[in-house]
Amino acid sequence: MTYVEYKQLNPFQRFVHNFKKFFTNIPSALGRFISACGRGIVKFFTGIGKGFKNYGVTFVKGDWATKLSYLIFGIGDLHKGKTYKGILFFLSEVLYALYMIFFGWGWVKDFPTLGTVPTRWESDGFTEIQIPGDNSMLILLYSTLTLVITAIIFVIYIQNIKDAYRHQVMRANGEKPTTLKQDAQEFLDGKYHITLMSFPVLMISIFNILPLIFMILIAFTNYSKQHYTLFDWVGLQNFGQLFDVINSNKKAVTFIGIAEWTLIWAVVATFSNYILGMVVALMINKKGIKLKSLWRTLFVITIAVPQFVSLLLMNQMLQENGAVNIFLGLFNGGHNPGIRFLGDDVWVARITVMVVNCWVGIPYTILSMSGILMNIPEDLYESARIDGASPVKTFTAITLPYMIFVTTPQLITQFVGNINNFNVIFLLSGGGPTTTEYFGAGKTDILVTWLYNLSMGNEQDYGLASAIGILVFIICATLSLIVYNNSKSMKDEEAFS
Amino acid sequence: MIKSYKARRIIANTLIYIILAVMCLIWISPFVYLLLHSFRGEGGNVTVNYLIPKTYTLQNYINLFSGAGGDASINFPRWFLNTFVVACFSCVISTISVLAVSYSLSRLRFGARKKLMNVGMILGMFPGFMTMIAMYYLLDAMGLTRTLVALVICYSCGAGLGFQISKGFFDTIPRALDEAATIDGANKNQIFWKIILPMSKPIVVYTVLTAFIGPWTDFILAKIIMGDVRENYTVAIGLQAMTTPEFIQGYYKQYLAGSVCVAVPITILFLRMQKYYVEGVTAGGVKG
Amino acid sequence: MKKVLAILLAGMMTATALAGCGGSSESTASSQGSGSAASGGSVAADGKVDASMFGSETDITLKVWAPDKGVKLAKEQVEKFKKMYPDVKFKKIDVVAQGENDAATQIVNDPNKAADVFSFPSDQFNKLDDAEALAPVATALKDSVSKNNDPKTVDAATMDGKLFAYPETNDNGYYLVYDKRVVTDENAKTLEGVLKACKDNKKEFIMDCGNGYYSCTFAFTAGAIIDGFEEDGETQKFKEYDEDEAVETLMAFARLMKEYKGTFKSLDPAQITSGFQNGTLGAGVDGSWNSKADEDALGENYGVSALPTINVNGKDKQLISMFGYKYIGVNAKTKFPRSAQILANYLAGEECQIERAKQLGWGPSNLKAQEDEAVKGSATLQAIAAQSKNAVAQVNIQGTFWQAMGTLGSEMLKDGWDPENKDATKKLLQGTIKDVRDE
């Protein structure tokens, strides 16, 4: 379609066109994604190559202080009169050395084996006493910590060399190094991002990135209740079990079953919330409907009440003799129909969960849609009215396409959110109805609740849980990347229209 | 013609009113049920087989706050205070983190900007539960497990990753403002505090609000961290514990009362801030 | 640049903190061991322990976990324990509330922060054992513990010839509770009688058939009784049984479910107490943990007995249930192994068991305590004791067991289930066994 043809379409047709294009674009987006990955890898290695080159070149060109900086941090800076920075560099090396000698090395040396000494018992004549052996989990955790610290030290090391060489060049040009006060000023202006971001980034590194690396490593071990204190590297075994469909491995059966339901769940939950929420939002915001804010407020209460209150309440109300059945009984001559909403019928339970999810999710859609509806430019309506368009026409030609267009990116965020929608499943059905076909999961469990069951619930299999987490990540990341690529092209078109 | 058009509109509007009224009823009735039964006088500590209670009393609330009707390990006032303290601290830290990160990524230009944004996006795509065990042992190594400090850290450490919405908001502020201020001799620090922040009330309120509510609703991480130390529980774990088979027989009505005590303040807070929430979400969401 | 430095410094600080912890945890257990080795002679036949047995342990700090209802009593008992040994230096013995259903999970999650001495039900044995979380009963105390307690409770806690915990109760099971106004003591003897009485009075009967813990009664009564593991240590073993008879028995259950539809309800047992309170319930299958609540709800009309019989082809068959015990365990990671063992031994002793029977209604495992008047005089405890004779011990059970048994119960309860269909029943039974054995 040419640009002119595109321009002649009405907004709704444009949306349909874009919508179709979105799906036809998926293969090419994937292609682009893969080639981008390829380019990234190439860039990474050329980067490393360049790094090595610079490393050598600097050494050759450096004076004695710069050369000494290759061994002792900060000498270059100290020699050039940048005292405080030199001291900091030097201190970091000393601290790192102390850390490695007194703590780090003790754990890292066991990293390849994850420990070999088993726990044993010794009698003292009265009772047996446990003599703890190696603890693989701690070895892995502290090794990861040590690796992260080493990586940081490496960055500091490179910075130290660069800094030494920079100051050498500055001295050769007759410039003086900046003073502490000047540097401090710079942190409020040119380097303000460092001032602002160092604290959050530090927190994220310690409490998000470090644990994440640890858990990713766990996916390659057999850490589970059978191997609690001492466990081993097992390579890709956990992933293998999840995809071992040929031998109908129980874990594979569970994974396929749950992944299937997770996708059904995410699609239904996303679209039901989106469409129904949009309908309600349109009703509330229709011209001539009074008490707009009251209606909105009543719906929004569901968002405000914490989910563990509202969903646990829902769980109790949906029991066989809970409030919902009692209420239905009122239409049944006071006879409680005793429907087992969350009982052992798989699809009854699944539909119940999806319906309750509407109750939870629609208000969110109403809120964001209301905001968008109020933001539709008035002049669009104005010109429509001058053209003599009927209200129905105005709606189909302006309101609807505008809303769909603006909110499509949100759909994807919600889709990813629903794949990870832990609360609704965990609090409402607890994963039930239970089944013997699955390993540590029930018929309404989705991938994240299964992950929870395997790591903090009844069935301890941390290795498998981590593998599932990685797979969830891959699913979400792929989806987001496709959408990201697509929506960028959509945005471009929006720009020239 | 005009008359029939008007008639049609009235019919349509009436229909909409009816639909909205029925839907609101469905949406609100669980909470009405909760509220009514939290005051229920009769029927012991169990569910009953009718919808509207027959007698009303304040006793459930009195029991809840005095710890009567059971043993001392149910200490709701203490839990409420704990949650409030944790919420306040983590709210301050989270808000600072989110605003600092989103402001930097939105309005400052530096080399690692794109890379940091990508890393942030990637980290956000791993399921949160994956890291819990490792986080527990890290906190344990620092000697912080079983303390409220650990909870504050847990709730605020990842806050910086939730920068998207407020970044979207900051993106909408014209850059000309910064440029004008720079010409007047202001540095980046002054621009942030004196110009941008005062303009960003909706997003600040939105950030504060979400950060404050978090600790009131989490029950999984908190339970793992607190273990058997009941006096350091938050309301969410406490209330969830009350629904376990061991307690539900003795505490059902207290549980309902406790749920009301948590839900009401948060709801009021939320409704009062709703305006900012909508502004923040739409401004940040549509652009971002 | 500076950011990187800041990260490093904070990392270092963290690391020093870590170093402090890592070092200390390795040397804890061994430091206590070399105390004066006590001779076996100072353990009396009734399990009383001499003060010299504490060895070199001093400034003793212990934590005890008790379920919420038992915290107050446990505190009193700990005080008595301290008074028994005036020469031993106790620094602090805390009693902390911890739900028993969660005890193993809490221990396994972080043994170093968990209690030194804790109470737990028998079905958590495997989990604790997998994690090497239990310290075996002190060698010096083992004989007296084995001799003084019900052999069944001792056997269930013995693995590879080692006794792994101190028996605390012999009561963790379910039985029949009924409203005497609805069900007479005579009715209560047969399941048919119970259901008929309930139906005639327009009351309900509750048994949680979807829950494997209760519905395994069907399989057990039919003869499919579990018997530990096969040689591989994982596959559940069943005793040999006559399949035809088993099928007939299941059909008899299904017939009753169908005949008394609307009366026979499969609900969470928590509903039993409320049913009695609301007056909608005639009888139910409930557990010992609810006995106080049920008794309070019914007052003088509280009726209790062992599970009834069911008529299979003209023959009355006794219902066989799942039955568990509670134990007091010692944390393998305790810093005061001797003191913890002695305290556990005391808390599981005759005197403490009788106190619990009196105040909490827990059925003792100690043989002498079982003969105590307080126990003999309690209708509930007698019903439990009677049921325990027709019960399967809740130990060595594969995780697959519960779901498979739950499915058995809920299948039979379904609307479309035909109780006269022999083939379907046979298939269901075979399927259940297969699922339990995870074949």
Domain match, B247 and B106 both: yes
Report the 10 Å Cβ neighbour count for A416.
21
**Residues pairing with C173 in the sheet:** C323
The pLDDT value given to residue C29? 38
Query: Residue B252: CB partners within 8 Å, gap ≥ 6?
Result: B45, B46, B47, B242
Domain match, B137 and B106 both: yes
Q: Pick the residue of B130, B137, B207, B278 with the most A CBs within 10 A to test the interface with A by mutation.
A: B130
The pLDDT value given to residue B280? 64
Burial class (CB in 10 A: 0-12, 13-18, 19+), C44: exposed
Phi (first) and psi of residue C238, to 5 degrees = -115, 150
User: Is the pLDDT assigned to residue B1 strictly greater than 60?
Assistant: no
Residue recorded with tokens 């008047």: C373
State whether A448 and B129 contact (CB < 8 Å): yes
Task: Examine residue B51 and state whether it is found in any structural domain, yes or no.
Answer: yes
Q: How far is it, in rounded angstroms, from Cα B99 to Cα B84?
A: 22
Q: How far is it, in rounded angstroms, from Cα B213 to Cα B217?
A: 7
Q: How far is it, in rounded angstroms, from Cα A219 to Cα C5?
A: 31
Question: Are the C-beta atoms of residues A99 and C12 closer than 8 Å to each other?
Answer: yes
Q: State the nearest Cα–Cα gap between B96 and chain A, in angstroms.
A: 9
Of C17, C68, C71, the CB nearest to B246: C68
Q: Which residues of B touch A206 (CB under 8 A)?
A: 138, 157
Question: Are the C-beta atoms of residues B40 and C277 closer than 8 Å to each other?
Answer: no
User: What does A333-357 look like in DSSP terms, one character per residue?
Assistant: TT------TTSS-HHHHHHHHHHHH
Largest CA distance in chain A: 101
Task: Examine residue B144 and state whether it is found in any structural domain, yes or no.
Answer: yes
Domain match, B22 and B119 both: no
Question: Are the C-beta atoms of residues C223 and C242 closer than 8 Å to each other?
Answer: yes
Q: How confident is the model at residue A484 (pLDDT cuts 50, 70, 90)?
A: low
Q: What pLDDT, in 10s, does the model give residues B177-193?
A: 888 999 998 889 999 99
**Residues pairing with A442 in the sheet:** A434
Does ipTM exceed 0.90? no
For residues C112-122, one letter each, b for 16 or more C-beta atoms within 10 angstroms of the residue's C-beta and e for the rest, the string is: ebbbbbbbbbb
Q: What CATH number is given for C172-323+389-437 in this structure?
A: 3.40.190.10
3-class secondary structure, C180: coil
The pLDDT value given to residue C8? 46
State whether A128 and C34 contact (CB < 8 Å): no
Which range (A269-273, A322-326, B265-269, C231-235) has the least confidence? C231-235
Between the CA of residue C14 and those of B89, B145, B225, what are the distances in Å?
21, 14, 19
CATH architecture of the domain covering A250-491: Orthogonal Bundle (1.10)
**Residues pairing with C179 in the sheet:** C302
State whether B27 and A301 contact (CB < 8 Å): yes
State whether C337 and A155 contact (CB < 8 Å): no
Would you call the peptide bond into C136 cis, given omega within 30 degrees of 0 as the criterion? no
Burial class (CB in 10 A: 0-12, 13-18, 19+), C50: middle
**C115 CB near a chain B CB, below 8 Å?**
yes
Q: Which residues of A touch B97 (CB under 8 A)?
A: 199-200, 203
What's the pTM value of the predicted model, to 2 decimals?
A: 0.84
A449-453, long-range: CB < 8 A, 24+ apart = A449/A422, A449/A425, A450/A254, A450/A258, A451/B127, A451/B129, A451/B130, A452/A422, A452/A426, A452/B129, A452/B220
**A neighbours by CB contacts (3+ pairs under 8 Å):** B, C
Q: How far is it, in rounded angstroms, from Cα B37 to Cα B45?
A: 11
**C105 CB near a chain B CB, below 8 Å?**
no
User: What does C377-439 look like in DSSP terms, one character per residue?
Assistant: T-HHHHHHHHHHTTEEE--S--THHHHHHHHHHHHHHSTT--TT-HHHHHHHHHHHHHHHTT-
**Residues pairing with C229 in the sheet:** C236
Residue recorded with tokens 């390659």: A220
Q: A369 versus A426: which is more confidently predicted?
A: A426
State whether B228 and C293 contact (CB < 8 Å): no
Q: State the nearest Cα–Cα gap between C98 and chain B, in angstroms.
A: 6
On the CB side of C81, CA atoms within 13 Å amount to 28
Of C71, C97, C273, the CB nearest to B46: C273
State whether A295 and B24 contact (CB < 8 Å): yes
Q: How confident is the model at residue A490 (pLDDT cuts 50, 70, 90)?
A: very low
Domain match, B94 and B166 both: yes
In chain C, CATH 3.40.190.10 covers 5-170+324-380, 172-323+389-437
Question: Are the C-beta atoms of residues C316 and C309 closer than 8 Å to each other?
Answer: yes
Task: Examine residue B71 and state whether it is found in any structural domain, yes or no.
Answer: no
Q: State the nearest Cα–Cα gap between A86 and chain C, in angstroms.
A: 12
**DSSP tag of A188:** T
State whether C337 and A127 contact (CB < 8 Å): yes
Q: How far is it, in rounded angstroms, from Cα B82 to Cα B76?
A: 10
Domain match, B21 and B83 both: no
User: Is the pLDDT assigned to residue A130 strictly greater than 70?
Assistant: yes
The pLDDT value given to residue C135? 93
Q: What pLDDT, in 10s, does the model give residues B220-257?
A: 888 889 888 888 999 998 888 888 777 777 788 888 99
Q: How far is it, in rounded angstroms, from Cα A381 to Cα A334?
A: 52
Residue of A nearest to B105 (CA): A193
The pLDDT value given to residue A15? 67
Q: How far is it, in rounded angstroms, from Cα C120 to Cα C100?
A: 5
Q: What is the CATH number of the domain that holds B249?
A: 1.10.3720.10
Report the 10 Å Cβ neighbour count for C151.
12
Q: What pLDDT, in 10s, does the model give residues C129-171?
A: 888 899 999 988 999 999 999 888 998 898 888 899 999 998 8
Question: Are the C-beta atoms of residues C257 and C414 closer than 8 Å to each other?
Answer: no
Q: How far is it, in rounded angstroms, from Cα C311 to Cα C196?
A: 13
Task: Work out how many domains chain B is built from and give that number.
Answer: 2
Q: State the nearest Cα–Cα gap between C161 and chain A, in angstroms.
A: 14
Q: How far is it, in rounded angstroms, from Cα C250 to Cα A264?
A: 37
Q: Which residues of A touch B217 (CB under 8 A)?
A: 306-308
**B244 CB near a chain C CB, below 8 Å?**
yes
3-class secondary structure, C264: strand
Ranked by mean pLDDT, the top range of A8-22, B56-70, C44-58, C348-362 is C348-362
3-class secondary structure, A216: helix
The pLDDT value given to residue B259? 92
**B neighbours by CB contacts (3+ pairs under 8 Å):** A, C
Q: Which residue among B17, B42, B66 closes a domain?
A: B66
Domain match, B171 and B208 both: yes
Of C101, C114, C278, the CB nearest to B246: C101
Rg of chain A taking only CA atoms, in angstroms: 31
Domain match, B168 and B222 both: yes
Pick from A352, A323, A332: nearest CA to A430: A352
Q: How far is it, in rounded angstroms, from Cα A147 to Cα A212?
A: 13
Query: Average pLDDT of B12-38?
Result: 92
Query: Average pLDDT of A336-360?
Result: 88
Q: How confident is the model at residue B147 (pLDDT cuts 50, 70, 90)?
A: very high
Q: How far is it, in rounded angstroms, from Cα C192 to Cα C180?
A: 16
Q: How far is it, in rounded angstroms, from Cα A422 to Cα A430?
A: 10
Q: How far is it, in rounded angstroms, from Cα C23 to Cα C193?
A: 67
Q: Which residues of B touch A190 (CB under 8 A)?
A: 188
pLDDT-flagged residues of chain C (< 70) = 1-42
Question: What domain range is B99 assigned to?
Answer: 76-284
The pLDDT value given to residue A2? 64
User: Is the pLDDT assigned to residue B71 strictly greater than 60?
Assistant: no
State whether B71 and C100 contact (CB < 8 Å): no
Q: What is the dihedral of CA A148, A154, A157, A161, to 10 degrees?
A: -150
Amino acid residing at A173:
N
Residue of A nearest to C25 (CA): A132
Q: Which residues of B touch C100 (CB under 8 A)?
A: 246
The pLDDT value given to residue C172? 86
**Residues pairing with C238 in the sheet:** C226
Q: What is the dihedral of CA C303, C306, C310, C311, to 10 degrees?
A: -90
Q: Which residues of B touch C106 (CB under 8 A)?
A: 227-228
Of B46, B241, B247, the CB nearest to C277: B46
User: Is the pLDDT assigned to residue A494 strictly greater than 70?
Assistant: no
Average pLDDT, chain A: 86
- The length of chain C is 439
Q: Pick the residue of C2, C8, C24, C403 with the most A CBs within 10 A to test the interface with A by mutation.
A: C8
CATH class held by domain C5-170+324-380: alpha beta
Task: Examine residue B111 and state whether it is found in any structural domain, yes or no.
Answer: yes
Q: How confident is the model at residue B275 (pLDDT cuts 50, 70, 90)?
A: confident
**C290 CB near a chain B CB, below 8 Å?**
yes
State whether C3 and A197 contact (CB < 8 Å): yes
Domain match, B279 and B149 both: yes
Task: Number of helices (H) and strands (E) in chain C: give both, helices first.
Answer: 19, 17
